[in-house]
Structure 1
Amino acid sequence: MESISMIQFLLLILLQSLCFAAGQTNDFPIFRCRTSENFTNNSVYQTNIDTALASVSSAVGTHYGFSNASAGKSPDTVSAIALCRGDIGSEICKDCVRNSIVLLRRTCSNQIEALIWSLNCTVLYSNRTYSPTYDSRPNAKSRSYVNASNIDDFGKALRDLAGRLRAESAGGNSLRKFATGDVNYGTDSSKIYGMMQCSPDLSAFDCNSCLSVVFSEAQTCCNGDIDVGVFFPSCYVRYSNASFYNDPPAISLPSPTPSSTPSSASPGI
């Protein structure tokens, strides 16, 4: 683990906070540390955490913002995952993952499993074997506690937007499952800006299921709120009355390679 002073730690927190557009919630970074189980300093498990996190940190910038890795043998195996927002560039992605690892290791210093949602990326490590399926725990929510002036119009427009973004995200390929968009609502043509993303190794079915549950959670907790985020380990939804994403994304995906035998082409590559 990289050693940092308390001043450096607080500066990292401040940098995470200063990246917000006006009008958005300012809840990042969000941590989840499994406090029921701890590991011993300088143990094999700690070494494996550092190895797995270093691996995803070095790979995420060249893998379109997603990387997973494992280190060690049972019972000390560690799995790690890093996922960056689909609209940011590789340098911002790498910086976010690197800084988030420092914050995560400082905040959840001896926990067997831990997760951080930062503004631009998600990083987690666990003693559980990684598999590309969606998990609803741990999760997090953020909201502005400010309601739209016309909740009915807002809700209808938001549901329409969410349906479109969910389908687009789930229909992505093995490099990126991500969508953004906006919609007008009300007589004054107010706007809702939305973003949805899944880990790209989720199947289309699991991505769609994960985003459906996440959006349902957003509606249950925060109906009418103009700025909401609900985050699961492998998918999330965010929406706001203020634009908060890059359009188009800072990094374009490669074009599919033409094949003379379409029936044998690999889907999503």
Structure 2
Amino acid sequence: MVHEKFLLSLFLVTSLLSGTTIAKTEFLAAFCSSGQNYTKTSLFQTNLETALAIDTTEIDYGFYNFSGGRNSDRVDVIGLCRGDVNRGACRSCLDDSGENLRRRCPDQKEAIGWADECMIRYSNRSISHMNQTFPAIFMFNLKNASDPTLFNKVVRGLLDNLRAKAAAGGSKLKYATGHTNSTRSSEKIFGLVQCTPDLSPAQCTDCLNRAFQVLPQCCDGKIGGRVLGPSCNFRYETNRFYDQTTLPDAPAPAPAPQAATPPPRADAPPPSDGPITSPPVSSTSVGGLPPPPPPQGGGGNRNLVLFGLSTVMAALSAILIF
């Protein structure tokens, strides 16, 4: 059953000028919490500036995690880059996104922003090792599949396989990509799933399961779609949208212990992008979206936006869901 906060949506439409190029560190969406604010020149602001001054060496397999300060001046920051993004591009995305987020949320102590290649969030409370599914956004390609019912089953089967691979990843990377045949033999569907690696395998699995439950609402029969949340995300397309050649080197495996059943490696290498088989998947029955609530305070992009992102995601709609 989908949590009701994960389904509430706001439906405000904005159009971008055709032909406008979007910088890769521009946000797809951002959210500013209206809970607690800070003042300029406060210790919280100093701690936040320190936390967002990210050094390349602090990025471990596309993941950045910082915690500092005490009590009301505590700052927790989590940054996550898409698993195929190299370290230099990851730092650039996180740096720009941190600056953009502070500009959009100038005095809020909790905020999150999603760019195409990275996500960054900060809070005055502990957010590490926490499985959070909202706020989140979903996006979809406006084009419909020729056989929506069969296409939906193939997509769900692909994502289920990738979910298992990502959840089995180690404490440095929980990320998986793969492809399978579409409803037409000449067409493939490419998928990507990822969790923040501070989650346990069970937390990663649960986070992705909750995200997948939004599929009937966001992407029914669409040839492309994605959900981006604080702790996990997924995307699928009929064109490959990730760069398989820039995956980081896998950590060296630890020597196998002398035991009848050796435990799993702590940091397993990321799964390869080989073809996978999509098993039959039972249909998921989820109720329709409730009427959108009235706008609330807190700033950020609490809206539906029409994006011209790329040739792959050429016609997308994004909805912030809670």
When the two structures are superposed, what TM-score results if normalisation uses the length of structure 1?
0.84
Q: 1:232 aligns with which of 229, 232, 235?
A: 229
Number of residue pairs matched?
246
Q: Does 1:69 align with 2:66?
A: yes
Identify, as 1 or 2, the structure richer in helix.
Answer: 1
CA separation of 1:28 and 1:147: change in aligned 2, threshold 3 A = farther
Q: Deviations over 1:164-211 (max 9, x none)?
A: 100000111111100001111223532211100001111111101101
> Which consecutive residues of structure 2, in runs of 5 or more, have no partner in the other structure?
1-20, 268-322
CA separation of 1:187 and 1:250: change in aligned 2, threshold 3 A = closer
Deviation at 1:51, TM superposition (A): 1.6
SS at structure 2 position matched to 1:15: coil
Q: Deviations over 1:201-236 (max 9, x none)?
A: 111111011011111113332211122111110100
**Which residue of the partner structure matches residue 16 of structure 1?**
24
Deviation at 1:140, TM superposition (A): 1.2
Query: Could you tell me how far apart the structure 2 residues matched to 1:96 and 1:41 are?
Result: 25
Q: 1:213 aligns with which of 206, 210, 214?
A: 210
**Which residue of the partner structure matches residue 135 of structure 1?**
132
Query: Could you tell me how far apart the structure 1 residues matched to 2:50 and 2:181 are?
Result: 47
CA separation of 1:120 and 1:184: change in aligned 2, threshold 3 A = same
Query: Could you tell me how far apart the structure 2 residues matched to 1:99 and 1:38 are?
Result: 22
When the two structures are superposed, what TM-score results if normalisation uses the length of structure 2?
0.71
Deviation at 1:65, TM superposition (A): 1.0
CA RMSD across the alignment = 2.2
Query: Could you tell me how far apart the structure 2 residues matched to 1:35 and 1:149 are?
Result: 43
Query: Could you tell me how far apart the structure 2 residues matched to 1:109 and 1:167 are?
Result: 39
> Which consecutive residues of structure 1, in runs of 5 or more, have no partner in the other structure?
1-12, 18-26
- Of residues 143-152 and 200-209 in structure 1, the stretch that sits farther from structure 2 once superposed is 143-152
Deviation at 1:134, TM superposition (A): 0.8
User: Contact (CA 8 Å) 1:59, 1:67: kept in 2 or not?
Assistant: no
**Which residue of the partner structure matches residue 23 of structure 1?**
none
Matches within 5 A, 1:163-202: 163-202=160-199
**Which residue of the partner structure matches residue 98 of structure 1?**
95
SS at structure 2 position matched to 1:195: strand
